[in-house]
Structure 1
Amino acid sequence: MPDYLEEVLGACAEDDGELADYIPELASADPDRLAVALTTLDGETYAAGDADERFTVQSISKPFVYALALADRGLDAVLEAVGTEPSGDPFNEISLEDHSGRPRNPMINIGAITTHSLVGTPGCTVEERFERVRSGLSAFAGRELEVDERVFASERAHADRNLALAYMVSSRGIISEDPAVLVQEYTRQCSVVVDVRDLSAMAATLANGGLNPATGVRVLEPWVCRQVLAVMATCGMYDAAGDWLSSVGIPAKSGVAGGIMGALPGQVGLATFSPRLDGFGNSSRGVRICERLSRDMGLHLMSLPATGPSVLRGTGDLVAGDGDGTARAVLQGAITFAGAERVLRELATIEPGDTLVVLDLSRVSHVDDVGRRMVLEGIRRLSLDGHPITLVDPERTLPDPDAGDGVRPEVVDRLADDAPSDPGHTRTRPDS
């Protein structure tokens, strides 16, 4: 992987962008710096180039602070203040909904300033709110992050446009706090220092449903990650978001210091750094690197995986029984809606009676919440039809199998006549 990443950097080395010269500290950055990092969902990070170079997070902080606001205030409260529609405008434009006065989304400045005001508990102090932001970003990165005070001072001295945006939101009654203080703290948020390893770990935490794969700390609940990733996919790359989604297909966010962070759900977090920006405010070389990674590694969100084996093995046994008064279904793979529907369809063919029905989950790798509810509903109906139910579930992939109406199937590690696949799995049916 490091060799491949070095190859990608070499292929994308040509640079035709410009530094963010409207912020003096950013204008002084070394324009030739170039780095990339990938973090897998089991916590392995690969990096190449100037991976130790640190820079300010800038607008890449927006999705993470949006996540903190969702966690602290809930979805409904955040949606009252900030929408989720792509603006089609540059990041620093006035983009307010005509009917509500809400900023169109949290990934543009006017929305991010508003989102900052929603972090923390209602009534918290300015200092408490910023500490929640800093510690939250640190939890995503897996290490303590600090503010670059020089960049903060430089940006604060050139924050007139953001001040105008904050006063505009205030005039529509969306925020009640002092706009000047809010912009100051939003600017401090953007001045937190990271490197590409930090950003790839932060992205991997989003891709992993809120669980930091390196530290094992749960930073967010999965529903928050789903909301953030959805908004990133449609709004994260500003007025280039449509082109990005079609060509790269990874929910992402860029920053004017030259960073790009991308999170592909269930697969990987990635980050790039190159300070020169294109006309949309995104890193020129960073965009090309992400395009190359997506193409080479099949990382496009809309790429369909190869069709896997059926979730059911030996369905003939399920319908006909195996000659000893038992109907057995062997399940495999991940049980989501589509797989669970297939299981229910087969279970529905079993006539009412007292035949023992065995559902073998020993080959199942994962059961999501929808799949769990559907399988348990099938168990409940079979039980009401008179069938005793046994689950073979050595790894407890179907936790708390309470099907309702007092139905709770017997759970065993293996059946008595099965050779154990693992020496530790020695439990048998109590009636054996």
Structure 2
Amino acid sequence: MHTPVPDYLNEILRSCQFYNQGEVASYIPELARVNPDQFGMAICMPAGTVYEEGDAQSEFTIQSVSKPFVYAMALRDRGLEVVNAYVDVEPSGDPYNAMSVDPETGKPSNPMINMGAITTHCLVGEPEFTPLQRSDQIIDVLSQFAGRTLAVNEEVLESEYSHRYRNVALASMMRSNGFIGIEPDDAVWGYTRQSAVIVTARDLAVMSMTLANGGINPVTRERVVPEWVCRQVLSVMATCGMYDSAGDWLSSVGIPAKSGVGGGIIGALPGQIGIGTFSPRLDQHGNSVRGVEACERISRDLGLHIMELPAPSIEEIGQQSRTESGARLVAVQGALTFPTAELVLRRLEEIPQDETEVVVDLTFVSRINKVGDRMLREGLRRLGQDGHVVTLIDPHERVPSPVAHDRTDIPVVEDLNSYEDA
């Protein structure tokens, strides 16, 4: 059989083609010449499968969709504390090119508007990097996010840089306030060059799924940035990624996202999906008209809103049963997270305090996060303290075994918050 997913995407594509309102970004001469009727979309799944329809292979410049990825690079290179000292994470409610700063400190509101994005651009790489070295490193890492080598549209770069004066004014304020340490023209050149990187909707789907996948590219399987960086970036995308329509987007679509005046939109829902759309007609906020409508449809039809009530993450936790040898058996199926691990601990709590062997079977557990791992191990330790011989069946070897029922080998967890992960 053929999966119906491409048919579904094609149906969205056809229905959204009737949205012809909006205009291309005419204030940038090269962008003003694009075909306004292009429309492509792609989704990337956690296993790396990509579905695409329409003009998903058409090339365009990434523009402001580069901002979350460059923010991720700055976080990776400088750390959260340093980056937070230079760029805030508060929604501005202002247009992307507004002079939006903290009235007391002069710090830019967030890294998704131009002021903040120019600042985070300057935080990538080593402080002594030349503008070209920094720019080349950014393009190299953007390529890692996409899983292929990306290039710069030199015509768009020249066209945008020749109209750089507002961004230079923003960068000059950042230099005056001490938030960037290089010449404003150099900062804006590098920022403009990152915006002129050529991508496709398919690239954007893979790039967004890399963020949604904890920093591991689902196609190449290479780690691009640490998991904590993705959590931070997606949090800022959710509240600031769609400029002064971020509140409407979070309410109606509910997927962390970022748009660009080149017509691209990314959506990244942690652990579930990466979305990339391309259509050049923009609304008054600078967001792709058809892209916004397509993302609304996907979110609504597929139940992907971040506030959607999730399906139960555990299918079954066996009641106390017995193995052939008389041991008490607790079989777990599904994902082991805090709420499901709490249910496992309550099952273990029901076991009488005696010398009976307890077998905990994780064969059909699909995923164990850090908290689920810590809680399970603490439960095993306490069973041992109660006098039970504990056997752990974990064919994927995700949780350290009690080692031949030696209860002293089960780690003691006094404080779940301070416990060091194995």
Same fold (TM over 0.5): yes
- After superposition, what is the alpha-carbon deviation per residue over 1:150-195, rounded to whole angstroms, capped at 9, x for unaligned? 1001111101111111111122112222121111100001000001
Structure 2 counterpart of 1:63, one-letter code: P
Partner residue, 2:333: 332
1:213-362 matches, within 5 Å, as: 213-307=218-312, 311-314=316-319, 316-317=320-321, 326-362=327-363
Moved more, 118-127 or 223-232: 118-127
Q: Distance in 2 between matches of 1:220 and 1:388?
A: 42
Counterpart check, 1:6 vs 2:26: no
Deviates more, 1:293-302 or 1:259-268: 293-302
For residue 387 of structure 1, report the CA deviation from its aligned partner. 2.4
| Inter-partner Cα distance in structure 1 for 2:127 and 2:381 | 44
Residue 311 (structure 1) shift: 4.6
Structure 1 residue 408: Cα displacement: 3.6
Instruction: Indicate which of 84, 91, 97 corresponds to 1:92.
Output: 97
* Aligned twin of 1:78: 83
d(CA) in 2 for partners of 1:296, 1:399: 41
Where do 4+ consecutive residues of structure 1 move more than 4 Å? 308-311, 321-325, 399-406
Figure out how many residues of one structure are paired with residues of the other and give that number. Answer: 405
CA distance in 1, matches of 2:110, 2:297: 28
Distance apart, 1:98 and its partner CA: 2.2
Pick from 4, 10, 16: which aligns with 2:21? 16
Give the aligned partner of residue 409 of structure 2.
407
Q: Which moved more, 1:229-238 or 1:90-99?
A: 90-99
How far, CA to CA, are the matches of 1:400 and 1:171 in structure 2? 58
Question: How far apart, in 1, do the equivalents of 2:196 and 2:30 lie?
Answer: 11
Does residue 38 of structure 1 match 2:40?
A: no
Question: Is the CA contact 2:333–2:362 (under 8 Å) kept in the aligned structure 1?
Answer: yes
Contact 1:365 1:397 in 2 (8 A): no
Once the two structures are superposed, the pairs formed by residues 135-146 of structure 1 within 5 Å of their partners are 135-146=140-151
The residue type equivalent to 2:388 in the other structure is: H
User: How far apart in 1 are the matches of 2:357 and 2:62?
Assistant: 59
- What letter corresponds to residue 180 of structure 2 in structure 1? I
RMSD value over aligned CA atoms? 2.1
Question: Counterparts of 2:402 and 2:267 in 1: how far apart (Å)?
Answer: 36
* Pairing of 1:372-387 with structure 2 (within 5 A): 372-387=373-388
Deviation per residue, 1:72-98 (Å, 9 max, x gap): 111111111111111000000011112
Residue 309 and residue 369 in structure 1: after superposition, are their counterparts in 2 closer, same or farther (change >3 A)? Answer: closer
| 2:297 aligned partner, one-letter code | R
Alpha carbons of structure 1 residues 6 and 354: separation in structure 2 relative to 1, 3 Å: same
Q: 1:266-298: per-residue Cα shift (whole Å, max 9, x none)?
A: 111111111111000001111111111212222
Of 341-350 and 37-46, more deviation after overlay is shown by: 341-350
Q: Is the partner of 1:270 in helix, strand or coil? A: strand
Shift of 1:345: 2.4
- Residue 371 (1) aligns with residue 372 (2): yes
Deviations along 1:374-429, one digit per CA (max 9) or x if unpaired, are 111111222233322110111223257799994249xxxxxxxxxxxxxxxxxxxx
Letter in 2 for 1:73: R
Matched residue SS, 1:29? coil
Listed one character per residue, the Cα deviations across residues 295-348 of structure 1 (whole Å, up to 9, x for unaligned) are: 22222111123335555112x33xxx6695622211111000001111222323
Aligned partners of 1:335 and 1:9: how far apart in 2?
Answer: 37
In structure 1, give the amino acid aligned to 2:80: L
What is the letter of the counterpart of residue 137 of structure 1?
Answer: L
Does the aligned pair in 1 maintain the 2:70–2:120 contact within 8 Å? yes
- 1:94 and 1:149 mapped to 2: Cα distance? 27
Amino acid at match of 1:179: P
- For 1:47, the aligned partner's letter is E
Aligned twin of 2:111: 106
Tell me which residue corresponds to 2:393: 392
How far apart, CA to CA, are the structure 1 residues paired with 2:337 and 2:120?
33
- Is 2:117 the counterpart of 1:115? no
Looking at structure 1, the residues matched to 407 and 331 of structure 2 have their Cα atoms a distance apart, in angstroms, of: 25
Distance (Å, rounded) in 1 between the aligned partners of 2:103 and 2:390: 57
**Separation (CA, whole Å) in 2 of partners of 1:102 and 1:175:** 11
DSSP 3-state at the match of 2:409: coil
1:279–1:294 Cα change, 3 Å? same
Aligned residue for 1:121, secondary structure, equals: coil
Offset of residue 62 of structure 1: 0.3
